Each structure stands twice: as structure tokens, then as C-alpha cells.
Structure 1
Amino acid sequence: MMSAKKILLLAGDYVEDYEIMVPFQALTMVGHIVHAVCPQKKQGDIVRTAIHDFEGDQTYSEKVGHNFTLNATFADIKASDYDALLIPGGRAPEYLRLNPDIITIVKHFAETNKPIAAVCHGAQILTAAGVVSGKSCSAYPAVAPEINNTGGCWVDIAVTDAYVDGNLVTAPAWPAHPQWLAKFLELLGTKITL
């Protein structure tokens, strides 16, 4: 029997819809406890989401998403209480990385070698925390310069693939969910039998 892991999910307004909804639901479905939090918000508050799509333009398009209800209060959490960290993408990472408490949380997971899953622009938080130095990881291609300029090595993989380096599993965008979540479950020690 698998023991449930406690996973901390960092959210903010205009987080990418699929990149928060799908992991939250999938990880909960297999028995893990996922606490979705946002600075300056509490349990029961919402974050707005945005849907990013790949429609043949030079960059992704953005559409209005859903309201996602947070199930924990940011001010009450302690990183040491959690087994793993999940960072979705969207526009939220560009301002969440400016929050010193977010940086402290990410550093805790990196320094204690706990599993960290980041997708798309979520890597912006990793680079701001200085935890990609010496690591190879993927992200949305527009984040590649940040990864490379902070001592990491951006890995150019298909949008449907995920990449693992030690405790870090990353992917370019939500089309990689099957691979990204499967690799994250492996890092968590989750066994699913059919």
C-alpha cells in the first residue's frame, strides 16, 4: 500500500488552466494530498486561470480560463511539512518569483532534494530561486535564456515530452502532462498497477 505524499502547489492569478487543474486532479485521484496556495490568499479564495493554446502562431494564444479554488492558506504552510513541490506555468510565475517567501520555499525543496515538478513558465520561479545551476531541465522555449543564464542547461524536447534530472522533473507545456505526471509519480514513489 502506498502512503500518500503531501504536495505543495504554488499558484497565482493567471496560472495556466490545464497546468493547475490537471495535476491537481490527477495527483488527488491517485491518493496524494495536494495543497494549492497563493501568496496573500487563503483557503477558499480563487485564482483566475488562463488557457494557453498552440494554434500555429509565433507564440501561444491566451484565453480566459476558469476560477480555481485554493484549498490551503499560504500564510499557514511550512515547506518542511511537504514531500514535494509542483509549479505550474502561465503568467503567474513571472510575478510569483518576486515574492521572497516563494523563493525560500523553492530553495527548501531543492536543498532537501525533495521532488520538484515544474512545467512551462514554472521554470521562471526555479531560475529566480537559483536552483537550476548545474541542472538540465526543460521549459517553454521562451524561458530557455533564463535557464541557461542562471547556470542551467535548457533541454529542447518535444512539447509532449518531460525531462528528469535528479529530483527535478520538467516539461515544455501542458501537452506533456502524460509524461510529466508519470515521471513525477515515479519520483514520488507512486506505484500504479493495472
Structure 2
Amino acid sequence: MASQKRVLLLCGDYVEDYEVMVPFQALLAYGLSVDAVCPGKKSGDICRTAIHDSTGHQSESRGHNFALNANFDEVDPTKYDGLVIPGGRAPEYLAINELVINLVNKFQDLQKPIASICHGQLILAAAGSVKGRKCTAYPAVRPALIAAGAHWVEPDTMAFCITDGNLITGATYEGHPKFIRLFIKALGAKISSSGK
């Protein structure tokens, strides 16, 4: 049952606004417990977000302040059912943080679902989690994924998502409906619809 599931959301400053806010709220709406953390920060601290427009020339605007609700230093991967990694600019610095890499590796070693979107796959590449795995991302991330040994799958639209074992990857926030559905399924939770 969804209410028994606990998810970790890995944040950083200038994380993509939609890619942190939407999964956080959607997973809570499904009855999951979601702990949002950032290295070097504690519960109650904020991460600044950025809003990216990927149509035409990419532009960036200041987003919301996203409040963290758990302490990074207290995270125990064995207590979580899955990990969500949003994109934006945060993965650029999180991917070179040894504590973040160790955390991702623990989730991978435990074969827990890892859902990563857009530039979040920079962290997966740095952690070695994509070697021999099919994955997608925002097209600018393709060289890093290929260099890390991933089987790159070109997104036909920015809503494209793909699953390979415990790994769910999406191109951008445009794919949130499918991305979140795939993650819920990987967690073993059921999504029901009244058909209305």
C-alpha cells in the first residue's frame, strides 16, 4: 500500500522548480512519505529553485524557495523504498559530492527504485549507476551518460521516459505524469482510477 512507502528526494540549490515541487506534492498526494534533503542543510532550511524554459533558447528564472523537511546527515537508505533525483543546475555540483555519490550507490546496491529526471542523470553518471543501462535525459546530458557507459535512448519528445530495472529516467518535467506513474509502479504501489 502506498501509505507504507517512504521516498527520499535529493535536492540542491537551483534545482529545477517543477522537478522538485511536482514530484514532492504528487508523491505526498499518493500517500507516500517524502523526505526532502540537501547536503550541508537540515530540516527547515531552503533550497533555491530555478525555472527553465526549454523551448527555443533555454532561459532560466528564479523559482520558489523549497523547504527541506529532513536532515541529509541522518539519511539511512535502508529506511527508504526509493530515491528521486530532480534536475536543474543542482546536479552539476551534487555530482561531485562524495556523500551524494555514496548515497546513490547505496540505493543502487540495495536495488531500490531510483527515478531521475533531466540533468539529475549527471549524478547517476558520476555514481556509475548507468553503465550498461538504458536511459534518457535532457539532450545536453547525453555526452556524460555515454561516457559513463549508458545505452543512450534519444527522447522523441521532452516528455519521454524509460525504465531499465530499478532505474527510471525522464527527459524533462514535461514527462512528469509518466515519470511519476513509473516510479509508483516500481515502488510496488497501485494507482487506481475511478474512471471519472
Query: Shorter-normalised TM-score: what interval?
Result: over 0.9
1:149 and 1:155, CA in 2 relative to 1: closer, same or farther beyond 3 A?
Answer: same
Q: Is the 8 A contact 2:38 2:68 kept in 1?
A: yes
Alpha-carbon shift at residue 3 of structure 1 (Å):
4.4
Deviations along 1:9-62, whole A, 9 cap, x unmatched?
A: 1100000000000000000110101100001100000000000112322xx211
What residue is the counterpart of 1:41 in the other structure? 41
TM-score of the pair, normalised by structure 2 = 0.95
Is residue 2:175 matched to residue 1:176?
yes
Alpha-carbon shift at residue 91 of structure 1 (Å):
0.3
**1:27 alignment partner, SS class:** helix
Alpha-carbon shift at residue 99 of structure 1 (Å):
1.1
What residue is the counterpart of 2:123 in the other structure? 125
Unaligned regions of 5+ residues in structure 1, if any?
none
Alignment of structure 1 residues 142-161 onto 2, 5 Å: 142-157=140-155, 158-161=157-160
TM-score of the pair, normalised by structure 1 = 0.96
What residue is the counterpart of 1:91 in the other structure? 89
Alpha-carbon shift at residue 162 of structure 1 (Å):
0.8
Q: Is the 8 A contact 2:37 2:70 kept in 1?
A: yes
Structure 1 range deviating more: 70-79 or 21-30? 70-79
Cα separation, 2, equivalents of 1:92 and 1:34 = 19
Q: Counterpart amino acid of 1:123?
A: Q
Q: Counterpart amino acid of 1:17?
A: D
* RMSD, aligned CA: 1.0
Cα separation, 2, equivalents of 1:120 and 1:169 = 11
Q: Counterpart amino acid of 2:78?
A: S
What residue is the counterpart of 2:25 in the other structure? 25
Cα separation, 1, equivalents of 2:94 and 2:77 = 16
Say which of 139, 142, 150 aligns to 1:141. 139
**2:183 alignment partner, SS class:** helix
Unaligned regions of 5+ residues in structure 2, if any?
none
**2:4 alignment partner, SS class:** coil
Say which of 74, 78, 81 aligns to 2:79. 81
Q: Is the 8 A contact 2:2 2:32 kept in 1?
A: no
Q: Is the 8 A contact 2:83 2:107 kept in 1?
A: yes
Cα separation, 2, equivalents of 1:126 and 1:2 = 26
Q: Identity rate of aligned residues, in percent?
A: 53
What residue is the counterpart of 1:14 in the other structure? 14
What residue is the counterpart of 2:188 in the other structure? 189
Paired residue total: 192
